[in-house]
Structure 1
Amino acid sequence: MTATRSGAGPDDGPPVVDVRNLRKTYRVKGGPEKVAVADVSFEVRRGEIFGILGPNGAGKTTTVECLAGLRRADGGTVRLLGRDPQAAPASVREDVGIQLQEAALHDRITVGEALDVFASFYERRADPAELMDLLDLTEHRNVQFGKLSGGQKQRLSIALALVGKPQVAILDELTTGLDPAARRATWELVERVRDSGVTILLVTHFMDEAERLCDRLVVIDRGTVVAQGTPTELTDGLRRDRGVRLRFAEDTGRGRALDLLTALATRDDDVTAVVSADGEIEVTGTRKVLFAVVRELAAADVVPDDVRTVTHSLEDVFVDVTGRQYRADENDEENVA
């Protein structure tokens, strides 16, 4: 489920990013042509966090590098703020900030020095002190890059992407390698940046990250968009049964409930299957299955100790549209020279 937004949210004006039928291939020395991006299309609205989700090697990084004018596309069209970064990369340089997965700084440069150096590249620049305050880096101003924690390095990467006061920020695999606490803190920072007025393209292979942060997203697999929409639209659109899990403190209660619900499945079209395993009963059916289960048990005065609905995730969406399980590191061959 997406987080509650505190900012104004996406607007209904023209898209700030418009990608149509993007294609990019590589010629591997001594080998066959590799298709990194086969056919990718999407639009990004001003003021939203837009996700590009998929396993490693799916074509995500290549897509945003073409969008930023860092790689030449072999086909399709790309527009950023109405301009063509393929024909004129310099035309978007002042308006897009990029944090790339493989980017690194010299170990001895300090946080303050890095921000000052990067700020010097832009005619229009943010106040480094304000950025450090926004991203909780002020107390680390004089700390060398090599001595920062993983989370602190990622916060600095975001600051460097924002130092040119961009309208659009591309954040690539932002939380890879971070511990759970640092990941959650980074998510909060991303939302804070979006609420400051920056449109964000979030490249990630983490399903939970996309569900938490993204207003809308595309799922890319093997260089092609296989699903797109809001996280809720994608999960609600699954052609799958809903589920309810019940737990009882006593075996006798579970046994009686199992008999009642098994009988219910034979006469109620909203209940399609009843399974007992690991001390729980799972009932699947239509979107009304929860009501059918509660009504049946309440009529018999059988009260479970715990009732949980089985919710679908973006991982279920990936399985549904591709026919195979999601493995984040599935095709880790994207960055071909």
Structure 2
Amino acid sequence: MASNYNRKSASSGSRRKPAARSGSARSYPNGRNQSRPQRSQPAPNRSAGRSRQGKGYGAPASGRQVTSVRIGDIGQAERAQRAQRTYRRYIIRVVAVIALIGALFVGGVTVYNSNLFTITNVQVTGVEHLTATEMTELASVPAGTTLLRVDAGGIQQRLLRDAWVKEASVNRVFPDTLELAITERTIAAVVSVPVDSAQNTEDWAIASDGTWLMAIPEAGSEASKTISQNVYEDAAEVLHISDVPLGVSPEVGAHCTDANVVNALDIVNGLTTDLADQVKSVKATETASTVLTLENGIEIAFGEAGTTEEIRTKERVILKLMEENPGTISYINVRVVDRPTWRSL
């Protein structure tokens, strides 16, 4: 009986050992079983432990909860925050710019439609043969208009309608002045144009580009009092084109189409030496027989102007003949430049 009890006890003990390893009871060598309560402990955070050890703190204290964050996550969060701050600043700037543009637009419209900068003075510069009154009337600046609303382009076009006006610009001088800057054409010659018959002529001023400027009234007449006296001063200094064939019909502002007059202008404009200053008059009956008369009385049968080089070649021949025969020549013919002829007094 005793032996059976012992085997039963041993068998029972062997059955309880696995339960002791997995349960709350523990077996000790003295044969007693003691029970201890099992406390739940969090699993150690190895990354946190390594982080603290790296800083010299040692292993984490038992029972303290440790969390970990990856370095990459921190950088990404910082970048996201910076991007958000940059975006907010961008939105603020855009809104500020839009508000500023809107304020400027509203202010500009208000000023444009107001009476601010009303034109009270029209200033004309660069005129010698035209008067400031004539230019102001031609400009026709509307009363009460402002420097902001004035039609500068329309005024410029009206000014250019005058034959004397070669160039014109309209300038705003704040706060109340409109400046009309004029560049005038100059008189290149006075053309005696036949009227009705070759017995009566009328003097016309013509510019170097062939633009008919105006009919010059007789000095001392009532009509002469209405024009600038500079017209008469210039007319006395420039060359005179005479013997123009009947049928030439000048018109103010129009371009001269008469071949005889144009040929005479081309000759004088093409001369490059002091010979040009000595030309007093030109007979323009025909292009082939155009004759220049110098101040010293010498007549020069020049003929057709031709090219610029042909004009200069004829000019050199004339000057050479005058130099070789000082005071003895009364007539020179260079219509055929390689066979010039001359006649003495």
Fold match (TM-score > 0.5): no
Q: TM-score range by the shorter chain?
A: under 0.3
Please report the TM-score for the alignment, with normalisation by the length of structure 2. Answer: 0.18
Please report the TM-score for the alignment, with normalisation by the length of structure 1. Answer: 0.19
Structure with the greater alpha carbon radius of gyration: 2
